[in-house]
Amino acid sequence: MEPIRKTLLAICVLLLLIGIGTEGFMYLEGLSQLDAFYLTVVTFTGV
């Protein structure tokens, strides 16, 4: 697999996980979109 393709795949997976995490926080915790996004980013960078 080409390096650029691997990089694009990794970016797409990361964006997908951030989107799923944001939606999960919004649904489960009833947070606003910005707060849910912030918590998702903090969670991923902390792990």
Q: What is the pLDDT of residue 24?
A: 96
Q: What is the pLDDT of residue 47?
A: 78
Reduced 3-state DSSP string for the chain: CCHHHHHHHHHHHHHHHHHHHHHHHHHHHCCCHHHHHHHHHHHHHHC
- The pTM of the full predicted model, rounded to 2 decimals, is 0.83
Mean pLDDT computed over 11-37: 96
pLDDT classification of 1: cutoffs 50, 70, 90: confident
Mean pLDDT computed over 18-47: 95
Which residues are CB-neighbours of 4 under 8 A, at least 6 positions away?
A: none
Domain, as residue range, for 33:
3-46
Count of structural domains, the chain: 1
